[in-house]
């Protein structure tokens, strides 16, 4: 007798049999192709709709596009005036260094929260590992500070 994929113990006459038989029947039921197909069907439908909708959204601008470029549309425009000077400015390398430092220390905080929660379970080895990690970050921060990467000019 086939069992229900959603709940294998509903209307199962083998519930009075030994536990080993119940486990074998459950494993056989879960591994059956019909049950697996039934369980993954909503996920496949969702993926098909998501991929189809993504393709449609990407293609709509190309279908309804009425772009007819001319010299006026392609000219630079800045607050009603012709652009003056170089439009693209170069950024200082220090801007990128500060951004990278922010990302590094933001990730440090992301690692500290789960470490603090699991500190009792991971023991001394986890504590020493985190202290080495924090020490390396501190050394890098001091190096950047001494090099003047944090001073905005």
- Give the model confidence (pLDDT) of 1-59 as tens digits: 444 555 555 555 555 555 556 666 666 665 565 666 777 888 999 999 999 999 999 99
Q: Is residue 149 within 8 Å of residue 94, measured between CB atoms?
A: yes
Q: Which alpha helices (DSSP H) does 1-153 contain, by range?
A: 19-31, 33-63, 71-74, 93-117, 119-147
In this predicted structure, the answer to whether residue 152 has a pLDDT above a threshold of 60 is yes
Which residues form the domain of 38?
Answer: 1-87
pTM to 2 decimal places: 0.40
Query: 41 and 1, same structural domain?
Result: yes
Query: 103 and 82, same structural domain?
Result: no
Give the burial class of 77: count Cβ atoms within 10 A of its Cβ; 0-12 exposed, 13-18 middle, 19 or more buried.
exposed
Report which listed range, 44-53, 63-72, 136-145, is most confident: 44-53
Start-to-end CA span in the chain (Å): 79
Q: Is residue 152 part of a domain?
A: no
Query: 51 and 119, same structural domain?
Result: no
Q: Is residue 31 part of a domain?
A: yes
Query: 114 and 75, same structural domain?
Result: no
User: Domains in the chain: how many in total?
Assistant: 2
Rounded Cα–Cα distance for residues 132 and 137 (Å):
9
């Amino acid at each position: 007798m086939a069992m229900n994929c959603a709940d294998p113990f509903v209307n199962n006459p083998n519930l009075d049999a030994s536990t080993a038989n119940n486990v074998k029947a459950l494993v056989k039921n879960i591994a059956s192709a019909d049950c697996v197909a039934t369980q993954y069907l909503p996920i496949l439908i969702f993926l098909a709709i998501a991929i189809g909708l993504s393709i449609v959204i990407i293609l709509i601008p190309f279908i309804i596009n009425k772009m007819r470029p001319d010299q006026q549309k392609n000219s630079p425009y800045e607050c009603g005036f012709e652009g003056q000077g170089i439009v693209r400015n170069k950024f200082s390398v220090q801007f990128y260094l500060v951004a990278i430092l922010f990302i590094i220390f933001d990730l440090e905080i992301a690692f500290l929260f789960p470490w603090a929660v699991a500190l009792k379970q991971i023991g001394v080895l986890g504590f020493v590992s985190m202290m080495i990690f924090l020490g390396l970050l501190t050394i890098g921060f001091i190096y950047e500070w001494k090099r003047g990467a944090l001073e905005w000019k």
